[in-house]
A and B are shown apart, each in its own frame.
Chain A
């Protein structure tokens, strides 16, 4: 007993000593839990989210999304588009210096874009730039992009992580950006110890004065969810970008942890195969929409959110609310099913089993549909089977899934109305979506998208469950940790430790 007491005391002292070391170290250095190793730190050679989450702090782009998803100036002070939409002129900032001391100019923009468009770079995002016919640099601080056809999503492409501007000198000398990134960003890359951590230090010559506020960032690589949560709870990490709703009670009970609830850019849906009996009948799809209590599904399965009404994230600037169309009304659903003479055929909800939240949503929906007299069963498949059976082949009745929101609505909507995995055909919607991609003017674009989205809202190839919240956790002394939801990246520029 005595011996046990002694070891408990020793252990206690050890823990206290350890925690004081941790907090002493963390005065102006932020420790962040990263869910895995990025495959590379070269922004132009990958499509991996982890890479962009890391390099967001090292590089800048010509333009960038603000907190609301609106595209605002960054390395380009301003831009203009010619009336035919074929020539985009960017005026660059004059006070920007790369981490290696080189000054930023139009040469770097041209070299970077040429690098992405070069087949040898093998960028998975290369096709995003295919509209660019020619890059002109009339002077050191002006870049003109000449397009072969109007292409409005270009601005979103230039605001995305893969358009990070690299120094032309290092591009020419064949620098290894994959292991040693050099940019104009708020933090300078220090080192990357694989499976352990990535460290960055403040760029004192950053072009926004007084920013960044942190001296150092340590991105600690922690793949295991339980370890991340424990780390935040005991203070070995300062911020965590995604907290599973199931872990909330544990962290909310901790006074040293602050949980912030924010709307994501995800679009949670139950897709319906419009080419199959009886879902090819609009009345049946409407009935399914009436039968489902969307708010309840969001609350129980996804930890809360804002219900949707059409195929865009509810926080998007192009989103219009049509939720008056199909409110929760099981009686109406029964009536429509009766009219359509449907309800006898057993239908299947195919769900990827590696996403427990979607499985839970499917279980809720199954009960709701059975209550209005439909026969529904659930089939779990693994992720690769889901991608081939459901998403590529369209061999399913219902599926529950989340679409990640894109910076430009074209990324979400392209191809709908002319098939895609819901097999929904509507020439009018398809042509509006196509046309909108060619228009740069926000108001005209929004009008076209609203028309297309209204058709999608009325014809319901999906049940638009809505956009869930995301829970971001920080220690209480962390101030202003921001996320850019459309890109799924974090912005440490404004973050402070108090």
Chain B
């Protein structure tokens, strides 16, 4: 009972935190104290004080402002990545699950071969071909994340496809497309939503890593990864440059993971009473 209530608390805290980040991202120009690229060169490396609540960076830019603006690429990348991955993965997953053996195995071969590459490596390769930038990062991540969805959706489709009600629908002459959207999709949605939250978190981390490596968001735009990249050289001199964006990034990813876990337990009938 204790475990369940603490989980519920964690779930609420995570949701609250993410809502806060979302609100910050939407209302950034209204709530941020400065412009994200405004350089106050006389206040370089300034420790947190009343002017700059979280301090300034090496060009005298306000850290709080940049964190607030940095939530925008993070959330946009997460959202777009998940959408692309869901569309692509869903399409191929359903096609493989409903299709013939040959189609199934060729699609899955393609997906498995994509899965065999480390995410970051594949992302860097794609970005190097398409050029650095936010749009490229989202496309790259969307494509790379699609096999996970394809595998999940195919597996679920395969197991649901043999259920009695599907057989019945088919016997009644219902068209396959209708069966897919009326019976299969609603039944696999719960697991897909869980995967969405995990992919969302992963996309934020990879976006930060790519920006950290210099191939993601381009300066002077604000991104958490880019802020960490700048901060790396000043860890002793100006630790606040690394601590706050790092904390923000970690909490965001943690929240998505907690929500993902909670949802997966909720949707799992054997554990559903826990939430």
Contacts and interface: CB of A to CB of B under 8 A. Distances in A.
Contacts of B38: 367
A250 B233 contact: no
The secondary-structure label for the interface of chain B is loop
Contacts of A250: 236
B190 interface: no
A377 B214 CA distance: 15
Contacts of B220: 363, 366-367, 378
A244 B219 CA distance: 21
Interface in B34-70: 37-39, 41, 44, 58-59
A367 B233 contact: no
Interface stretch (A180-188, A191-199, A352-360): A352-360
B237 interface: yes
A334 B203 CA distance: 43
Nearest to A359: B219
B132 interface: yes
Given A300-B44, A380-B214, A356 B59 contact: no
B234 interface: yes
B218 interface: yes
Contacts of A379: 132, 218
B218 A356 contact: no
Contacts, number: 45
Contacts of A244: 233
B219 A367 contact: no
Interface in A340-365: 353-354, 356, 359-360, 362-364
Interface in B191-233: 214-215, 218-220, 233
A496 B36 CA distance: 51
A381 interface: yes
Given A249-B236, A300-B59, A367 B132 contact: no
Chain B interface: which size bin?
10 to 19
Nearest to B213: A353
Contact of A381 (B39, B58, B132, B237): B132
B114 to A, nearest CB: 24
A140 to B, nearest CB: 56
A380 B132 contact: yes
A379 B128 CA distance: 13
B41 A296 contact: yes
Contacts of B236: 249-250
B84 to A, nearest CB: 24
A300 B56 CA distance: 14
Contacts of A362: 219
Interface string A271-307: 0000000000000000000000000100010000000
B59 A364 contact: yes
Contacts of A377: 218
A301 to B, nearest CB: 9
A382 B132 CA distance: 10
Contacts of B214: 353-354, 380
B237 A249 contact: yes
Interface in A219-247: 244, 246
A410 to B, nearest CB: 35
A354 B214 CA distance: 8
Contact of B39 (A249, A367, A378): A367
Interface in A356-407: 356, 359-360, 362-364, 366-367, 377-382
Given A300-B59, A356-B233, A378 B219 contact: yes
A303 to B, nearest CB: 12
Contacts of A249: 236-237
B219 A380 contact: yes
A353 B236 CA distance: 23
Contacts of A356: 233
A390 B149 CA distance: 41
B62 to A, nearest CB: 14
A167 B83 CA distance: 71
Nearest to B39: A367
A485 to B, nearest CB: 24
Nearest to A247: B233
B123 to A, nearest CB: 15
B56 to A, nearest CB: 13
B59 A363 contact: yes
Contacts of A354: 214
A246 B132 CA distance: 27
B140 to A, nearest CB: 16
A397 to B, nearest CB: 15
22 contacts: A249-B236, A249-B237, A250-B236, A296-B41, A300-B44, A300-B58, A353-B215, A354-B214, A356-B233, A359-B219, A360-B58, A360-B59, A363-B39, A363-B59, A364-B39, A366-B220, A367-B37, A378-B218, A380-B132, A380-B214, A380-B219, A381-B132
Interface of A: 244, 246, 249-250, 296, 300, 353-354, 356, 359-360, 362-364, 366-367, 377-382
The 10 closest A-B pairs by CB, nearest first: A353-B214, A246-B233, A363-B220, A367-B39, A363-B219, A378-B219, A380-B214, A249-B237, A380-B218, A378-B218
Interface of B: 37-39, 41, 44, 58-59, 128, 132, 214-215, 218-220, 233-234, 236-237
Given A249-B237, A300-B58, A378-B219, 6 more contacts: A249-B236, A300-B44, A379-B218, A380-B218, A380-B219, A381-B132
